[in-house]
Amino acid sequence: MTKNIRYACAPIAWTNDDMPELGRENSFEQCISEMALSGYEGTEIGNKYPKDPEVLKSYLEPRGLSVASAWLSLYLTSEPYEVTEEAFIKHRDFLHALGANVIVVSEQGNSIQGDLTKALFKEKPIFTEQEWQLLIDGLEKLGQLAHEKDMEIVYHHHMGTGVQTTKEIDELMERTNKDNVSLLFDTGHLVLSGEDPIDIFERYEDRIKHIHFKDVRQDVKEAVDKESSCFLDGVKKGMFTVPGDGVIDFKPILDLIYKSDYSGWIVVEAEQDPAIANPFIYAKKAKEYIAQYQ
């Protein structure tokens, strides 16, 4: 541990929640055991994890793992606010019972993230002013609901959504109250989109409350763009990988983080086909790569 920073791993490398056929054979117990063996202190939560907090803790605690957070899809731009609020409260209470402090949220209204017909680099949604306002108003309310449990929402900018680029992240940050809406900093999604992670971290250091570390394979990115492939095809082809295995130099990023006041989790996350990229081997590789800069 460096300062108040702890390292977690995401289960998506073992079983992909968006494409359950990737890693269908890998059990929940194998996943968390291999995370612990790789030297991580925490985990985010996947679909195979027990839904009862006490049951989940009974598996995690003997392995020395805590819950960092879990993703929640929002539909503030495409559904009545009440639909998202109901799901959010249930998700919030579940994470609170597990001791998590942050709630990962991302707007999925009009997202092409799971659309097999949409070209990732050519057909991302652009929010209208009305959609921006629905998103901003909804996030402010969700942030206040999170505060009822002394928690924070962290917004996940994401490929194939309306908040992906630097300009869109800027707009989100400018139009939301910093007390209600924080930012998740994801290296892989920034670099894949063509953004500068150093610039984003320096600009929003005081609002970043959660971090995802993943790397990018540049040759696969270029092929996905050239072939007008969708996001999930890119994942299957190996567009993402773990830190130390792609084109991102994490040393200057880690230097910035360690010199900052950041306190919380750094989550290693790399959506890959586990039949091709053994998740245990890659989780270990990432931990060893990061450890040389601690």
* Token pair listed for 39: 């030297």
- DSSP class of 1: -
Q: Which amino acid is at 115?
A: D
What would the pLDDT profile of 110-160 be if each residue is shown by its tens digit? 999 999 999 999 999 999 999 999 999 999 999 999 999 999 999 999 999
What would the pLDDT profile of 252-292 be if each residue is shown by its tens digit? 999 999 999 999 999 999 899 999 999 999 999 999 999 99
pLDDT over 70 percentage in the chain: 99
Angstrom distance (rounded) from CA 43 to CA 249: 24
Please give the radius of gyration of the chain, using alpha carbons only, rounded to the nearest integer: 18
Angstrom distance (rounded) from CA 115 to CA 230: 7
Exposure string of 34-50, with b = 16+ CB inside 10 Å and e = fewer, is bbbebbbbbbbbbebbe
Q: Quick check: 6 pLDDT over 90? A: yes
Average pLDDT, the chain: 97
pLDDT of residue 294: 83
Q: Quick check: 1 pLDDT over 50? A: no
Mean pLDDT of 173-199: 98
Angstrom distance (rounded) from CA 166 to CA 158: 11
Q: Quick check: 2 pLDDT over 60? A: no
This model's pTM is above 0.75: yes
- 153 - beta bridge partners? 103, 181
